[in-house]
Structure 1
Amino acid sequence: MISIFKVFNPLNVLWLAILMFILRIGYIAHVPDKLEFTFVEPFARLLVPVSYEYAFSPTANVFWAGVLVLAQALLLNYLVNHFNLLGRPTFLPSLMYVTLTALFAPFMVLSAPLICNFLVIWMLFKLFSFYKSDDAKSTAYDVGMIVAIGSIIYLPYIFLFLSIWIALIVFKPFNWREWVSGILGYLTIFFFFAVFYYLNNRLGGFSHIWAPLGSKFPNRININYYNYLVLIPVLLILVLYFFKLQQNYYKSYVQVRKSFQLLFVIFLIGSLSFYIKAEFNLNHFLLCAVPAAVFFSYYFINANVKWMYESLYLLLLISIIYFQFNTF
């Protein structure tokens, strides 16, 4: 499987669609009777003045989620090849993204974090362009607006604002105007949002939008650890990725090294920003799928022992399908 996707062949799109169906077949067989889909935060509900939460049947919900995942996989693949992050054209990023978005049942349905992954990919196009940009003020402003839009869809996305400043540190010499541009971009969207609140006589509650940001980081989360055994091959691949990256780090171009630093920061932000939501939901970690897919791709494209990397990926596939049918 890995050998097929290592080559940049347009026919891999067909294999990708087939694999996506196979990875979701266990969930489709046990799909719940009702699936709720909410793609804006409660404070932005007035922007969508119709009832849409159960507009899709469960089967349609899973189908459209798969369509979005496939589109995002192809966009991510284009991003990685455009900036030459893996050293050669390949279809591995799309394969890894489709695989990672099937790890858990909440990943396979329509959700706000899934929608936000379009914004994550869009942001990465902008942030990676800092490296060759003489003046990044307009780009930082654009990314600030993207983060604001993402915050309206899914509030924890607000933490990705930090990635703008970190990207400026990584890619550019310090320029305070560029740092302020990101803030202005974010404030622009929420200025118009405040006007919308005012026109609907709700301006008094505008400041409550950010109240969840004051939530304390939880000391404990109640989860069934048996359901997370699927992460064992994921963690193993991540460890192997870090070893490969360490071996080849100084052999890579400066832009590639800096890009992987930024991806790691985004991965950490996505991992740690779950706590401001009242209820812990696994679909939050879809925000980590984009950088994780690039990490996985880096390992597999640089792995030399075929039986080992093919077996490792096969183990991951089997684990995903097995735990879809066995939820303990």
Structure 2
Amino acid sequence: MYLRGAEREQWWRSARGELGEADQVTLEALDKEVRAPAAARALFAAHGVVVLAENLPQGPGLARWSPLPHVVPMLAARGENVPHLRVIVDRAGVELTVFGGGSPRHALGEATTWPLQKTAQGGWSRRTFERHAEEAWSHDLAAAATEIDEQVRRIGAELVIVAGEPRPRSALVDRLNTKTSDRVLMVEHGSRTDHGGFTRDVETMLDGWLERRRSELLGRHRDSDGPAGLGQVARVLREGRVHAVLMPGELPAEVWIGRGGTQLADTAEELLRWGVEEPVQDRADAALARAAAMTDAELWFCPELPDVAAVIRY
């Protein structure tokens, strides 16, 4: 719910009271951020610094002071992220938008050397002009393809969604390297002056990809009889063997953690055996999210599961 003015002030006074262990400078840093207009905001702060402030479409309205950041509600509200590229190409240029590794980044290429229409002059001069125009067009497409290949490599893009005029679209895709072209999905709607249909097609593509990917991971876990339950998943996370953590949702039960990113267990004794000197307790979902991030494992929400599970790398 979007809170304004007095409502937001009242909510923040109540929420601030739940942060009794927080130091004063950290509370003052949050004071400055919490009033920014947004439907919902996720704020994380420590030692007087707001280390992350992210606007969200909705949020649960909670405040927590704990050893680990309580990130799972934010991740659930944000939804799974698909690193991908959106490309619209026509005879006037290429529009490239990169989704991954931060906020969307736009790159608009205007084809100053591409002819919007061929010359009406005849004879030798016309043939020469058109040959030079085609060469310039091919050069610009090759440059655009190189940039797309680089962005796929840089962000680990799963999809490259391409729209635009049929001939430039096909010519661009033909110039992509094999790794990139294997990720290409063509959509029919969209131009550089009208993004409405393109955006709808892209969202449909992303939703379909997410469902297929989630089903694939669940199938791999089931077929391999993979780790299930906090104890087993914690062990393979500590060993760095997890490809994906599959969470049914929030897991408020407390576990034991250490300072290291993969130091978590369902008993303090187990961490002590691993050499953790002073284990403390925190939420299981926060500890699992930290361990997944520190081991470069994927994190997926799978409400059909009864407990946390993992797909292992090997």
> Fold conserved (TM > 0.5)?
no
Structure showing greater relative contact order (alpha-carbon pairs closer than 8 Å, 6 or more residues apart): 1
More helix by proportion, 1 or 2?
Answer: 1
TM-score, with normalisation over the residues of structure 2? 0.23
